[in-house]
Amino acid sequence: KATAIDPSVVGEDGVYHHTGRVRVFVSEAQAIKAIKREEIVQGDIMVVIGGGPSGTGMEETYQLTSALKHISWGKTVSLITDARFSGVSTGACFGHVSPEALAGGPIGKLRD
């Protein structure tokens, strides 16, 4: 394939498009609890803030991407964070968002 992104989620224009309900969390643990409680639904956009350099110091969010991988529809959920990802993360993961939430970046303005 010509891209690292799964071709099934890329539009004809070659751009990844996703529209969904935003769910904002302040920790990876909080986000995982939401998955376990079945509060996350197909097509949601999960946002984890506070994991950047000024927050928890660029923690790795592998557990969250792993949890999504084990849900049959997990690849329909997008994940955005100012933290970092493991090299084995899968799905629509957008990390290292800068400026980070605690520096006043736009990611910190998102709300459920």
86 is catalytic: yes
Q: What is the side-by-side order of every strand in the sheet holding 92-94?
A: 22-25, 45-48, 78-81, 92-94
- Distances in Å between the alpha carbon of 57 and those of 1, 28, 39, 100? 34, 13, 27, 11
**In this structure, how many other beta carbons lie within 10 angstroms of the beta carbon of residue 27?**
18
Q: Of the residues 66, 72, 78, 86, which is catalytic?
A: 86
> So which residues are the catalytic ones?
86
